[in-house]
A and B are shown apart, each in its own frame.
Chain A
């Protein structure tokens, strides 16, 4: 039996899935907007506790990883398997670095007692509790997407290695790239909302 193959259909499916992801985060942005408008002052003060340098580094490297992901697709389209694998390797490496940074960032907050349910946070009032609740939940769900992305890239890289993904059949790689750009895009919104707006 000839396998049914429809690359355009597969990409349409991926775009629809990205749509659902946008809605998922969209509702979190709604919650953020509601509570920010209720406690503007507390959100402003709490936002200054975040480490802008680490946040900026993460933003820059995530953007670079989106570029390397896009380049790996061009590489496979040109039939350059080796370059494609190298670029995928860089993408995965950057994703891991992003998580390591996140780990240190979160760790520092925990040391100060800024975590959901902590007694220190409780004393600082509603606005601060909600700010850090949103910060941990939203960056946490985002980090989960990064982890899933790493898994997908590893799978795709193995498929490239085994020549299952090649010059004429690379829709898996393209879809993983699409997903990665989404993860990047969400971060582009999270970064200013938490770190930059004062």
Chain B
């Protein structure tokens, strides 16, 4: 140890390696978090542009800018990028890595080297997925779900896409294990379970889902690979296999994966709302328990993706009932957040705008989920644009809005610079309007019977689609304002060294801005509860 000097910021620290190597070989949890952030922003831009291209194709019936095969490969790639590269790792990988250790008073995660390894696996997984676009017989056209039997019958290049997703699953498991051990073993003295802030709590629930569900998709994807290369026949009716079994295995993971996406988003919202309401969170324990309840019940609802695939009547009934059950803890949280704001002294800043609009879109997404969870309505709406609108309200509206809120909330702490609030608010407003214009008409189109995943539609759907496509353009405009503002501010924004610009009460607001290499020169002892504004 050197002689005591002023502790150095993690951004200025000069380690063994210089330049970019100092990032991709750094085991510092903060740098790993930023590596994830940069990777995700790059691929999110690609995914968003793919989405825009699809919406432009749908602005009029028939061939607009692409034919059916191109459209099929576009929605496949859009899905793979947005699901496997962005929202599944999403908040835990970026903000979990950066803030989990700080919020529980630790110097790093439990296994820093495994943490870096998980980013590398993630990056390698992405590269493997990308090769599917340029090699073999054209980009995959199966959709991100790789449904059997088409996924082993299509001539397109499905193998690398599936294998890349498998490798990324490995990365997700390692992050999950790392977080569970970190939370169990490294909380600061005095931080009992019920003195832990809510974002770490949701990361804890998420990490368990990552551990318990991801192996299932791992083996399922391996089976698809074996099916394509060896013809083992598990999912091939011609060899005695059952394609419905594939759907079961796939959704046993992929439904809990929805909670991997949304739980940390709920955690972020639970951080932002008390800080900008200047009020203690309402019902801390209710939020914690509902988090764990969602993580638990979320395992037993996968069948609601398969109501029309063929299941016994009893199974249909059970899955529908459990789907309604899982809505209850989600609703409890919404009541908690609204009650926290009640009679608070609201501080209208950018993160708060994102949090409040999250409540709005999350509620629409959640309630339409119940429409789909009801057996009778599901038969009518299955595989229509209603479904597309519903999950975009949850995944993009829920997780995406929380992600934006998190970026704007923690940005000053991460970079030691402040963004331009006026541009940020303007970007939020345009984005929000674009979002609603893009997805709300899809509910209507779905109810009228427009199916998903077609490049073409009947003339009577034209009006709704024009509206939706214009919404997509507005949304992209808002996104550009937000991104340009953030990137510019990360490099040239006004420097701040204030520890606590928002008046937060959790530990990350008590360390230096930007945090020092070790986060804490001395590990703090926790006495009070988080969110104490009295």
Complex Cα spacing A10 to B111, Å: 8
Question: Is B245 among interface residues, defined by CB-CB distance under 8 A?
Answer: yes
Complex Cα spacing A13 to B113, Å: 13
Nearest Cβ on chain B to A44's Cβ, whole angstroms:
16
Nearest Cβ on chain B to A151's Cβ, whole angstroms:
16
Question: Which residues of the other chain, A, contact B241 by a CB distance below 8 angstroms?
Answer: 130
Which residue of A16, A27, A136 is within 8 Å of B216 (Cβ)?
Answer: A27
Question: Which residues of the other chain, B, contact A117 by a CB distance below 8 angstroms?
Answer: 230-231
Contact pattern, A 1-40, Cβ under 8 Å of B = 1, otherwise 0: 1001010111011001101110111011011001100010
**What residue of chain A has the Cβ atom nearest to residue B231's Cβ?**
A117
Complex Cα spacing A141 to B219, Å: 10
Nearest Cβ on chain A to B164's Cβ, whole angstroms:
18
Interface contact B216-A23, CB-CB below 8 Å: yes
Which residue of B107, B211, B226, B234 is within 8 Å of A16 (Cβ)?
Answer: B211
Which residue of B107, B173, B239 is within 8 Å of A126 (Cβ)?
Answer: B239
Interface contact A136-B232, CB-CB below 8 Å: yes
Question: Which residues of the other chain, B, contact A134 by a CB distance below 8 angstroms?
Answer: 232, 234
Nearest Cβ on chain A to B223's Cβ, whole angstroms:
7
Question: Which residues of the other chain, A, contact B110 by a CB distance below 8 angstroms?
Answer: 6, 9, 13
Complex Cα spacing A8 to B184, Å: 10
Interface contact B230-A27, CB-CB below 8 Å: no
Nearest Cβ on chain B to A179's Cβ, whole angstroms:
14
Nearest Cβ on chain B to A114's Cβ, whole angstroms:
13
Question: Is A127 among interface residues, defined by CB-CB distance under 8 A?
Answer: yes
Contact pattern, B 234-253, Cβ under 8 Å of A = 1, otherwise 0: 10000111100100010010
Complex Cα spacing A12 to B186, Å: 13
Question: Which residues of the other chain, A, contact B212 by a CB distance below 8 angstroms?
Answer: 19-20, 23
Which residue of B114, B226, B239, B252 is within 8 Å of A129 (Cβ)?
Answer: B239
Question: Which residues of the other chain, B, contact A155 by a CB distance below 8 angstroms?
Answer: none
Complex Cα spacing A10 to B185, Å: 10
Interface contact B234-A31, CB-CB below 8 Å: yes
Contact pattern, B 165-186, Cβ under 8 Å of A = 1, otherwise 0: 0000000010011101100111
Nearest Cβ on chain A to B193's Cβ, whole angstroms:
16
Interface contact A129-B233, CB-CB below 8 Å: yes
Nearest Cβ on chain B to A176's Cβ, whole angstroms:
15
Question: Which residues of the other chain, A, contact B222 by a CB distance below 8 angstroms?
Answer: 141
**What residue of chain B has the Cβ atom nearest to residue A127's Cβ?**
B240
Interface contact B185-A20, CB-CB below 8 Å: no
Nearest Cβ on chain A to B13's Cβ, whole angstroms:
12
Question: Is A137 among interface residues, defined by CB-CB distance under 8 A?
Answer: yes
Interface contact A9-B184, CB-CB below 8 Å: yes
Question: Which residues of the other chain, B, contact A34 by a CB distance below 8 angstroms?
Answer: 242, 245
Most A CB contacts (10 A, CB to CB) among B111, B178, B180, B233 go to: B233
Complex Cα spacing A126 to B108, Å: 53
Which residue of A20, A30, A31 is within 8 Å of B211 (Cβ)?
Answer: A20
Interface contact A137-B233, CB-CB below 8 Å: no
Q: Given contacts A4-B108, A16-B181, A19-B211, are A27 and B249 in contact (CB under 8 A)?
A: yes
Nearest Cβ on chain A to B282's Cβ, whole angstroms:
33
Question: Is A116 among interface residues, defined by CB-CB distance under 8 A?
Answer: yes
**What residue of chain A has the Cβ atom nearest to residue B246's Cβ?**
A31
Question: Is A133 among interface residues, defined by CB-CB distance under 8 A?
Answer: yes
Which residue of A1, A12, A127, A129 is within 8 Å of B181 (Cβ)?
Answer: A12
**What residue of chain A has the Cβ atom nearest to residue B108's Cβ?**
A4
Nearest Cβ on chain A to B311's Cβ, whole angstroms:
14
Can you name 26 A-B pairs with beta carbons within 8 Å? Answer: A4-B107, A4-B108, A6-B185, A9-B110, A9-B181, A9-B186, A10-B111, A12-B180, A12-B181, A17-B177, A20-B173, A20-B211, A24-B215, A27-B219, A27-B220, A27-B249, A27-B252, A31-B223, A31-B234, A35-B240, A116-B231, A117-B230, A126-B239, A129-B233, A129-B240, A137-B234
User: 4 nearest interchain CB pairs?
Assistant: A126-B240, A133-B232, A23-B215, A24-B215
* B interface with A by C-beta (< 8 Å): 1, 107-108, 110-111, 114, 173, 176-178, 180-181, 184-186, 211-212, 214-216, 218-220, 222-223, 226, 230-234, 239-242, 245, 249, 252
